[in-house]
Structure 1
Amino acid sequence: MPDSFNMTNYEQTFAEFQWEVPESYNFARDVIDRWALDPDRLALWWVDDYGNEDKKTFRELSDASQRLCNVLREQGIGKGDVVVVILPRLVEWWVINIACLRMGAVISPGTMQLTAKDIRFRLQMADARCIITTDAIAERVDEIYGECPTLQSRILIGGERAGWLRYHEAMATASDSFPTVDTAADDSAILYFTSGTTGYPKMTLHTHTSYPIGHTVTGRYWLDLRSEDLHWNLSDTGWAKAAWSSFFGPWICGAAIFVHHSDRFDPKRTLELLDQYPITTFCGAPTIYRMLVLEDLKQYRFSRLRHCVGAGEPLNPEVIDIWKEATGLTIRDGYGQTESVLLVGSFPCLEPRIGSMGKPAPGFDVQVIDDEGNILPPNKEGDIAVRVKPKRPVGLFKEYWRDPEKTASVFRGDWYLTGDRAYRDEDGYFWFVGRADDVILSAGYRIGPFEVESALLEHEAVAESAVVSSPDEIRGEVVKAFVVLRPGFMPSDDLADELKEHVKKVTAPYKYPRLIEFTPSLPKTVSGKIRRVELRNREWQDHRKA
């Protein structure tokens, strides 16, 4: 496996790139175990807020993952079984991911902010056989355990609870030898829940090649990783971006991953760590960079940092300028989805155009198309689409699990539709316009309006609600709810605060509406559907006028 994958000539690399997909592939065997042949090769460098550090080599992670495979097998977990993992940034999260891939189990990550109701939905929809989590989440699991008949194994990291297997106790006596399952290229491997416009989160299914091989382009070309790099990605472990930049992308290239375990994001502490540790590459959501540049960057040295990327939404030019003045580095944008790997990026070999997403990633024919599937000319807005015929590229999800109708809805002729809108300039650079639907992208979180509206309707004061995005300087956009009250209730600041707290309790707290506007009625179509687009346009137009 070569040490350096960086791209020096975009046009040549794009033209010559070919996907190599074997009939069988297992990331644990074909990547982790190969790097583990060097017993001293660093894979993970973990730190917390209390001075604790832990370094793990590929060999140590390989051995630990095999022990966990034996633990899971003793619990009756095997190939194809869904394992839900809800953990903060603990070393065990990486071990569990490797173990599930090794044994052919399907891993389904979730964020620590999930409520008992959220967890019940995920366990039921995925027919999960096992959940691995901490004591805080275990308490929520126990609330709904009786409603999840397929859940046969509960494994606890830290603490002790009745009915739960203690992770470290079981690992201490398990063998570190396990025969890796010879998984087929199209076997199911990863199940992510992702919010949509209507209904509850849909299940995005990836295979043993779509992410494990597909993220070759993410790691090699966009993150520009080399085997000697120490890469830091700030994504929550519950989101697909963690798979992108905290797992597959770096380890495909043999780079080590830096991990900071903390209960909250602290921009000052983040800058201190960038100064203190030999971090060479850095990935953060635009919200992160907006908060970092509010600090006094002159206090810090970035002597080892050589490459920075951002993803999730376009980044403000002034933020890019401030960061470059302090570090000498341009924050390079990248675009992709839970359903995909990197599709478009501002690669290091390209001349950056501030505000642009960049150009298509090698291995993908990405175009802007119209409603009939025709490629649009430059500077004409349309749907961002990926060509899937005559040959489907590696890196796209397999399906929305158990939802063939939804799966079919995102394909149009020869194209997969990302659900985003853009235009392409004369030189081939893509420029993001916005979502084609009502999904809200706030501080890196993807929030479906239906979930928030449903939570609001559970409150006795709410007759109707409509949820849209509202512009925000730090988060890019935030959740705003328009609320029609039931008879007998009056608008007030206290009621608005009560509704916000209610949503935090009913669904994951990051989804709560930061803004609430009481209104006597909501705009609707003739058929009675709420016209969110009218409310959203009003929000953004008012912001532009301000």
Structure 2
Amino acid sequence: MKLTDFTRYADAVAHADRDAPWALFDGDRDDLNIAHECITRHAVGDGRAAVRIAHADGRDEVLTFDAIAAGAAQFAHWLDANDVHPGDRIAFMLEPSLPFYVCLFGAMQTGAISVPLFTLFGPDALRLRVDDCKPALLITNREKAPMAREIDGLRVIVADDGLLDEIARYPATYASKTKANDLAVFQYTSGTTRELPEAVKHTHRALVTLMFAALYGTGIRPGDQFFCPSSPAWGHGLWHGTLAPLGLGVSTGTFAGRFDATRLMKALQDHRITNMSAAATHYRMMRNAGTASDFAFAIEKLSYTGEPIDPATLEFIERTFHVPACSMYGTTEIGVVLVNFPGADDFAVKPGSLGKAVPGQRLRVQAPDGSPSPVGEIGELMLWRRDCWETTKDLAKIDADGYFYHCGRADDVIISAGWTMSAVEIENTMLKHRDVRECAVIGAPDATRGLVVKAFVVSDRLPSPEFVRELQDFTKQRLAAHEFPRIVEFTDELPKTPAGKVHRKVLRDREAAAALASTH
């Protein structure tokens, strides 16, 4: 029997063998290609849906395994003809669409490295990533092309009907040429504590490594009708929303364009989606939309990631979908390591809990002296990797039943509406404004997004609503549309540490106290 034949928690633990996921794929430890495993081997001429795209404008688009496989093969031949070689990076900044999947899988077939980039990046954010990965070419839409062409030395291709017509001249089959340990994807986090983002580099065999987390984090199984509204430019949307289901031959779904919760719920209804994995904010926005009662759902399994979900939203999920919301915890760097085993009838989901370790993973909560923290005490969440305990940079606690609970960040990363953003990166951008003398950025509590970016600004210019909007637009245009301070507070000075550094903890504590006081 294969891992996909089991659904119970006890079976997951019993069959946590490192060899077991390999039985799900054609490749082996020497030769493996993600494009073959996710697309080509499932393209058997039956017109089966691979990806359903719910467009914000109300359109539904269905891409078949056959269409993606043919286009990816043609694009791979086109890359060969344009002197793109194995190991070259192919960046693409596209919404989910036929060109997106053709580029993603076509590049990987040739041995080139796919680099998905968020479509709302501004020039500064794009330049940082281009400077880091140095792509042989960037493929984007007509709207973003002028901005991309401002980067010296970057070859920019517009993904339009002209490109599809051009690659259509090439054969619709292609012999993949990669080893399992060849690099396949450069994945950027949506924000880091470093000034310059660094790509997490994944090999083709990462698809196999992913499967334990996918099987027990989203509960994905053959026969599911899957949906993940997270952008495939980020880790959750790419690995758990795209590669994991397609690798099992499961039809997946995604969202294109500006997110709308009512539009998402209509897609869940119309496509009879049985399994959805989303960011915590997607669920909050569905609750706040107030339209859930207008739809009939077929949901059997739900999972979420990015941040904890508040009790009111958890109650909404139970009332609306009649299944528990299962947290899955991880990062782009370490992958998913704590899960709640959706669909397992012998695993009790505790509201607010991160669940238990993915089979085969070891985690613990560690006290400052390096010893395991006692039950109920907050410590640093540690992961056993490379024969030692490595920090996740998060705080957690564990209960008497072995369930983990998230207790905050151990650094200055801000998670807002599922996006991970760097306080330092936003500060550095705002400090480029001629009227900003000093700046400190933190995450402030917010009922909808969990946290929102709040900036404390020291300026000689008089505060005004116009000045606030100017700072917000200035930041959006240079980073990404979601990376800007939703709240700006002007102050005469910032709290500092004895070493003269901005003391963000003082600001965070002040905001937390104000939020608590407002509820009483």
- TM-score normalized by the length of structure 1: 0.88
Measured after TM superposition, the shift of residue 484 of structure 1 is 0.7
Question: Which residue identity lines up with residue 196 of structure 2 in the other structure?
Answer: Y
Corresponding position: 1:202 with 2:206: no
* Distance (whole Å) between structure 1 residues aligned to residue 369 and residue 203 of structure 2: 30
Does structure 1 conserve the Cα–Cα contact (< 8 Å) formed by 2:436 and 2:457? Answer: yes
The 1:341–1:107 alpha-carbon spacing in structure 2 relative to 1, beyond 3 Å, is same
Does structure 1 conserve the Cα–Cα contact (< 8 Å) formed by 2:132 and 2:198? Answer: no
* Distance (whole Å) between structure 2 residues aligned to residue 134 and residue 201 of structure 1: 23
Q: Secondary structure at the match of 2:334?
A: coil
Does structure 2 conserve the Cα–Cα contact (< 8 Å) formed by 1:46 and 1:91? Answer: no
Q: Secondary structure at the match of 1:504?
A: helix
* Distance (whole Å) between structure 2 residues aligned to residue 519 and residue 424 of structure 1: 39
Q: Name 2:242's counterpart in structure 1.
A: 247
Corresponding position: 1:172 with 2:171: no
Q: Secondary structure at the match of 1:83?
A: strand
Does structure 2 conserve the Cα–Cα contact (< 8 Å) formed by 1:94 and 1:247? Answer: no
Measured after TM superposition, the shift of residue 93 of structure 1 is 1.5
Q: Work out which of the residue numbers 150, 153, 156 in structure 2 matches 1:154.
A: 156
Does structure 1 conserve the Cα–Cα contact (< 8 Å) formed by 2:50 and 2:250? Answer: yes
* Distance (whole Å) between structure 2 residues aligned to residue 523 and residue 544 of structure 1: 21
**CA RMSD after TM alignment:** 2.0
Measured after TM superposition, the shift of residue 2 of structure 1 is 5.0
Q: Name 1:323's counterpart in structure 2.
A: 317
* Distance (whole Å) between structure 2 residues aligned to residue 383 and residue 97 of structure 1: 36
Q: Secondary structure at the match of 2:73?
A: helix
Measured after TM superposition, the shift of residue 333 of structure 1 is 0.9
Question: Which residue identity lines up with residue 475 of structure 2 in the other structure?
Answer: V
* Distance (whole Å) between structure 1 residues aligned to residue 236 and residue 457 of structure 2: 33
Q: Secondary structure at the match of 1:540?
A: helix
* Distance (whole Å) between structure 2 residues aligned to residue 497 and residue 50 of structure 1: 27
* Distance (whole Å) between structure 2 residues aligned to residue 207 and residue 370 of structure 1: 34
* Distance (whole Å) between structure 2 residues aligned to residue 497 and residue 42 of structure 1: 44
Q: Secondary structure at the match of 2:149?
A: helix
The 1:451–1:16 alpha-carbon spacing in structure 2 relative to 1, beyond 3 Å, is same
Q: Name 2:330's counterpart in structure 1.
A: 336
Q: Secondary structure at the match of 1:143?
A: coil
* Distance (whole Å) between structure 2 residues aligned to residue 182 and residue 220 of structure 1: 25
Measured after TM superposition, the shift of residue 322 of structure 1 is 1.8
Moved more, 354-363 or 38-47: 38-47
Does structure 2 conserve the Cα–Cα contact (< 8 Å) formed by 1:311 and 1:334? Answer: yes
1:385-424 residue pairs with structure 2 within 5 A?
Answer: 385-390=382-387, 414-424=388-398
* Distance (whole Å) between structure 1 residues aligned to residue 211 and residue 3 of structure 2: 13
* Distance (whole Å) between structure 1 residues aligned to residue 470 and residue 238 of structure 2: 36
Q: Name 1:88's counterpart in structure 2.
A: 95
* Distance (whole Å) between structure 1 residues aligned to residue 54 and residue 65 of structure 2: 17
Measured after TM superposition, the shift of residue 247 of structure 1 is 1.4
Aligned length, in residue pairs? 505
Does structure 1 conserve the Cα–Cα contact (< 8 Å) formed by 2:56 and 2:259? Answer: no
Q: Name 2:431's counterpart in structure 1.
A: 457
1:51-450 residue pairs with structure 2 within 5 A?
Answer: 52-144=59-151, 146=152, 149=153, 151=154, 153-158=155-160, 166-185=162-181, 187-194=182-189, 195-210=191-206, 212-261=207-256, 263-294=257-288, 295-302=290-297, 304-348=298-342, 349=344, 350-371=347-368, 373-390=370-387, 414-450=388-424
Measured after TM superposition, the shift of residue 33 of structure 1 is 2.9
Q: Work out which of the residue numbers 452, 458, 470 in structure 1 matches 2:444.
A: 470
* Distance (whole Å) between structure 2 residues aligned to residue 471 and residue 541 of structure 1: 10
Q: Name 1:17's counterpart in structure 2.
A: 16
* Distance (whole Å) between structure 2 residues aligned to residue 516 and residue 274 of structure 1: 37
1:506-517 residue pairs with structure 2 within 5 A?
Answer: 506-517=478-489
Does structure 2 conserve the Cα–Cα contact (< 8 Å) formed by 1:116 and 1:140? Answer: yes
Does structure 2 conserve the Cα–Cα contact (< 8 Å) formed by 1:438 and 1:533? Answer: no
* Distance (whole Å) between structure 2 residues aligned to residue 81 and residue 371 of structure 1: 44
- TM-score normalized by the length of structure 2: 0.92
The 1:389–1:499 alpha-carbon spacing in structure 2 relative to 1, beyond 3 Å, is closer
* Distance (whole Å) between structure 1 residues aligned to residue 9 and residue 317 of structure 2: 26
Does structure 1 conserve the Cα–Cα contact (< 8 Å) formed by 2:71 and 2:168? Answer: no
Measured after TM superposition, the shift of residue 62 of structure 1 is 2.0
Q: Secondary structure at the match of 1:258?
A: strand
Does structure 2 conserve the Cα–Cα contact (< 8 Å) formed by 1:373 and 1:415? Answer: no
* Distance (whole Å) between structure 2 residues aligned to residue 344 and residue 360 of structure 1: 4
* Distance (whole Å) between structure 1 residues aligned to residue 382 and residue 444 of structure 2: 26
Q: Deviations over 1:289-316 (max 9, x none)?
A: 11211313222111x2211111111111
Q: Name 1:505's counterpart in structure 2.
A: 477
Q: Secondary structure at the match of 1:95?
A: helix
Q: Name 1:482's counterpart in structure 2.
A: 456
* Distance (whole Å) between structure 1 residues aligned to residue 254 and residue 285 of structure 2: 19
Does structure 2 conserve the Cα–Cα contact (< 8 Å) formed by 1:3 and 1:253? Answer: no
The 1:203–1:497 alpha-carbon spacing in structure 2 relative to 1, beyond 3 Å, is same
Question: Which residue identity lines up with residue 248 of structure 2 in the other structure?
Answer: C
Q: Which runs of 5+ in 2 are unaligned?
A: 23-28
Q: Deviations over 1:182-207 (max 9, x none)?
A: 3232x222112222224132222222
Q: Secondary structure at the match of 1:420?
A: strand
Measured after TM superposition, the shift of residue 80 of structure 1 is 0.8
* Distance (whole Å) between structure 1 residues aligned to residue 39 and residue 266 of structure 2: 30
* Distance (whole Å) between structure 1 residues aligned to residue 58 and residue 494 of structure 2: 53
Measured after TM superposition, the shift of residue 178 of structure 1 is 2.0
Does structure 1 conserve the Cα–Cα contact (< 8 Å) formed by 2:355 and 2:403? Answer: yes
Does structure 2 conserve the Cα–Cα contact (< 8 Å) formed by 1:219 and 1:252? Answer: no
Q: Which runs of 5+ in 1 are unaligned?
A: 160-165, 391-413
Does structure 1 conserve the Cα–Cα contact (< 8 Å) formed by 2:9 and 2:341? Answer: no
The 1:42–1:218 alpha-carbon spacing in structure 2 relative to 1, beyond 3 Å, is farther
Q: Secondary structure at the match of 2:188?
A: strand
Q: Secondary structure at the match of 2:308?
A: coil
Does structure 2 conserve the Cα–Cα contact (< 8 Å) formed by 1:6 and 1:226? Answer: no
Q: Name 2:25's counterpart in structure 1.
A: none
Measured after TM superposition, the shift of residue 492 of structure 1 is 2.4
Q: Name 1:8's counterpart in structure 2.
A: 8
Q: Deviations over 1:211-246 (max 9, x none)?
A: x11221233222222222221101013211111222
* Distance (whole Å) between structure 2 residues aligned to residue 175 and residue 105 of structure 1: 19
* Distance (whole Å) between structure 2 residues aligned to residue 523 and residue 51 of structure 1: 48
Does structure 1 conserve the Cα–Cα contact (< 8 Å) formed by 2:58 and 2:263? Answer: no
